[in-house]
Amino acid sequence: MKLNDKQIAIVGGGPGGLTLARLLQLKGANVKVYERDTDKYARVQGSPLDLHDESGLAAIRKADLLDEFKKNYMPGADKAIITNHNAEIIFKDHEAKPDENFGHEHFRPEIDRGPLRNILLESLESDTVIWDSHFINMEEQRNGWLLHFKNGASFYADIVIAADGANSKIRTYLTDIKPFYSGITMLEGNIYNARETAPNFSAMLDGGKIMAFGNSKCILGGQKGNGDIGFYASIKIDQNWATNSGIDYTDNKQLLEWFGQEYPEWGTIWNELFENAASFIPRPIYCMPLDQTWEAKPNLTLLGDAAHVMPPFAGEGVNMAMLDALELSECLTSDEFNSTQDAIAHYETTMRKRASEAATESLKNGEMMHSEGALEKMLAFFSGH
């Protein structure tokens, strides 16, 4: 195996990086994961993830973790309602969709990020993750890289894999291509203990998801395993709105006033979300150019958002990252290639093509979801399934 006697450094301990570490360890590779969090309890993980059969779940199966996944996923969380701007339910699949349908191409079971991360962490050898490792820079040394971290530590690796997200610092060592703004910004809100603090929406969601459309704007949300609600007010707006708006994102009163001004046709039923959210985060949505390319290196590559950040309107982000991990692990451990550079080049060519297709779909969906006839178009889309 080309990885014999090679030290591999994965920078970033998200689903993509941890999946890759698991898959490489199953093949006997020497892997370390460098994660900037101080430990696995350092921060609350974000919204639930839906895994797709041909990508995220394929990686879970290859990692021999499907049984653990089944113990931790949220049955019924993939069920959805679609409403108009007054929260009137136009579509609901809660009765029609089975709780468990593993193996079906359209079954997309949801799992909270925390439990997914724990499944992957617990599958690794005990000393795999080096916590409190905030990457600063690296320099070429011998045939590999010497990585430097904020805590003063430095480590050598023969191969470095960037799994450090959309703001990857490692990406610049491979390419100077930058993402472009999609035209859409999503304002993320989180409501804790939602059954008591937002009872109307908690009852409406019933453990599932909501998509609301009207007047070229939308609200998307879902219930987490602990009953909390995460939601997004999604609008087409100037790229610099988040920094230039003057809004204090910790002030619910200001956010409620903004909602009333930006969503004037929407009913007051939505006020429950903005009145009770414990936090708001504006998230401008970016996408990598669809035709990006670079020359492969023998000792450096990317996966996930570090390679192909894309809008979230096709649910492909984590699935692409985990499929990246699956395909990269197979390339690096295959006898088909003469060198690590050949293996990485093959992976990157396939990955970029696949990511471009997913990003194209996501951009198209984003345009549809923010169009004047979004409600009718989304109803037709879901009826097609």
For the beta carbon of residue 271, count every other beta carbon within 10 angstroms. Answer: 13
* HSE-up (13 A, CA, CB side) for residue 330: 14
* HSE-up (13 A, CA, CB side) for residue 306: 30
CA distance 40 to 131: 8
Q: Quickly tell me which residue has 């019924």 as its tokens.
A: 76
**Three-state SS for 331?**
helix
**Three-state SS for 165?**
coil
CA distance 215 to 97: 29
251 annotated as belonging to a binding site for a ligand:
no
Token readout for 365 is 């969906």
Q: What are the E-state strand segments in 60-179?
A: 80-83, 89-92, 110-111, 129-130, 135-141, 144-149, 154-157, 159-162
**Three-state SS for 365?**
helix
142 annotated as belonging to a binding site for a ligand:
no
CA distance 68 to 123: 10
50 annotated as belonging to a binding site for a ligand:
yes
Helix 317-332 and helix 15-26: axis angle, to 10°?
30
CA distance 92 to 83: 9
Token readout for 109 is 């079971």
Token readout for 220 is 């998307």
67 annotated as belonging to a binding site for a ligand:
no
Per the annotation, where are the binding residues for NADPH?
43
Per the annotation, where are the binding residues?
43, 50, 113, 305
Per the annotation, where are the binding residues for FAD?
50, 113, 305
